Structure 1
Amino acid sequence: MKTEKEKMLAGDIYQAFDEALVAERDKAKGLCFRLNQTCSTAREQRRAIVDELLGYVSDAWLESPFHCDYGYNIKVGEGFYANHGCTILDGAPVRFGDNCLLAPGVVIATAGHPLDPVTRAAGDEFAKPITVGNDVWFGANVTVCPGVTIGDNVVIGAGSVVTKDLPANTVCVGSPAKPIKPIE
């Protein structure tokens, strides 16, 4: 029988309020709190907290406030930058290539809930991975929904909602976000 964490990581329906998952989220939220309370000029302290949150050494820079669910499901390439007010709900893996930039207020959410109100009220949840290529720029207040893949060299306009995969080398805008022009 799978644990709730194993179900979550497999993309199956799981109970988000499972004791073990709550403990892991509490740990990540404690680290986010420490990060968010650490002065932006205390670079070495902030870097150490980010590395502890992610579970590996990176050159990622996260401006405060930053929030996530687990931290260990976030994998970033070189040159990752998240501006103020970003949230990553990482019940499933969230993978970023190199040189990804998140403007203020970006939300990346792997978590979703069943449409059936009884099932949803019972605490059921699911999580689907999100993959982001290299050289992607998210404009302010972009929202990325569960299960999406974004290709290399994509620019996503401010306020867009990404509900489906976006092809490489495109500027994408809207709700839902769609390619409006190629990037040569």
Structure 2
Amino acid sequence: MSETIFSILADAASTTAVHAEPTALGLTATAWVSISMLLLIGIFVWKKVPALITSGLDKKIAEIKSQLEEAETLRAEAEALKDKYAARMSGAQDEADALIAQAKAEADDLLTKANADTAALIARRKSMAEDKINAAQLAAISDLKAKVSQVAINAASNAIAAKHDATADKDLVEKAINSIN
């Protein structure tokens, strides 16, 4: 069966008829299309269509160029602003770092001063306490001496009063008078 299909196709291919190409006024379809195209191109040139197309394209090119130049200008301005703000940010960061360093230095100074003031206050209070203790000791010693002196005077008075009588007083008065002479 496959041989019959191939043989039919082969017979059909060999029996194709060649037809004559249609013509009008002795010109073929290709010649007419060529003439029409030439005529159309001639009308376009006569009506200056290529100049219109070229001027339109030139306008579009000029517009695109101006847009590109404007975009470049805007880009340059944006980069300048970016650099400006980056410099400001860098300056602000440096300023913040300086402020932090200054605050730390001031805090260290205040801490050192507070420690020195505390030490000085402790030394003053210690000195005042020692002075008070010394004054209290001196007052106690002085008071004790006064009491001891009073007790000694009273004891001596009692002893003298007990052991001395009128004859002993007479001897003492005579010795005192003789020592004056």
Q: Same fold by TM (over 0.5)?
A: no
Structure possessing the higher relative contact order (Cα contacts under 8 Å, 6 or more residues apart): 1
Bigger CA radius of gyration: 2
Give the shorter-chain TM-score range.
Answer: under 0.3
Query: Structure 1 or 2: larger strand share?
Result: 1
TM-score, normalisation: structure 2: 0.14
TM-score, normalisation: structure 1: 0.14
